[in-house]
Amino acid sequence: KMHSVRGEPKGTDRPIVGVLSQELGEEAKARYPGKTSFIPASYVKALEASGARVVPILIQQSEDYYKHIMSSINGVLFPGGGVRFEDPDGFAAAGKIIIAIAEQLQDSGISFPILGVCQGYQLLMYIASNSTAEKDILVNCDTANIALPLDFKPGFQHSRLYEHASKKIIDILKTLPVTSNHHVLCVTEDMLRTHNLDNSWRVLSTNKDSQGLEFISSSEHFHRPIVGLQFHPEKNMFEWKPGQANPHSRNAILSARHFYDWVVEESKANNQSFANVQEEHDSLFSNYCPGIMYKNTSSEYRAYFF
């Protein structure tokens, strides 16, 4: 990914990935007065474990804020959660601005990756379809707490996401129930066709819910370094709620790391950076302390609050 020939894009071996925050629920607002949004710590840890430094991107900010931070970092992650996309000033509104800026960067020749996880993948589809309500693009499905192997589509190994995955990782994903599913909404191939997204988004794997409904579990844009996952690879490593279907076996962790390794490796393909070391240091998650989300109940044990 690193080029030194004059005229070719240069990369970085010091990538910084931004993670978008999302609205706080009422119970957490009561616990953390004055805070309005949060980022689960598991996403930050997963990106750091794959070799990136990580910065928060806050919701409810100006367009100039997003332009500035997007020109200073090397990739973006949209995390999972449970917010309403219809909120005019929330997660989806910020995500729409970020995607537009990322596409401008990509169109100008800067390789800028986005990874969407669970809710983050659904957001990618919501924005791509120009939906104004979640039901325009998302359907109900019964996959709230189950670990599944992936049903790969023919040719998946030639995709941006899986082309560098080892045979061992593919075999694990294909044969063992290692992907951690915690969603009650999903995107189907019918929905892609309905919104004419099947010619810009490539379905790489599907799964079936408990009722036999087939949904998309991994997908990527045909021409841009944008990937969506309906499952949660960070939970295998970093989430420990008793009773949650988050496999913690060696194989589950090995295969889960592939997805965060992917976005971090892709982030090394551009050399954007903050204006100076001080601004960079002031932006990192190391300036914040995570807190407990909800004692005893939350699947997101630790989170950062903003």
Just list the catalytic residues: 118, 232
Q: What's the CA gap between 288 and 306, in Å, rounded?
A: 9
Cβ–Cβ < 8 Å for 206, 231 = no
Write the DSSP assignment of 209-269 as a string of letters: -TT--EEEEEEEESSSSEEEESS-HHHHHH---TT-----SHHHHHHHHHHHHHHHHHHTT
Q: Are strands 22-23 and 37-40 parallel, antiparallel or unpaired?
A: antiparallel
Q: If we measure between CA atoms, which residue out of 179, 18, 210, 201 comes closest to residue 122? A: 201
Strands 16-20 and 53-57, by their bridges, are parallel
What is the spatial distance between Cα 89 and Cα 221, in angstroms, rounded to a whole number? 26
Torsion of CA 262, 264, 268, 272, to 10 degrees: 130
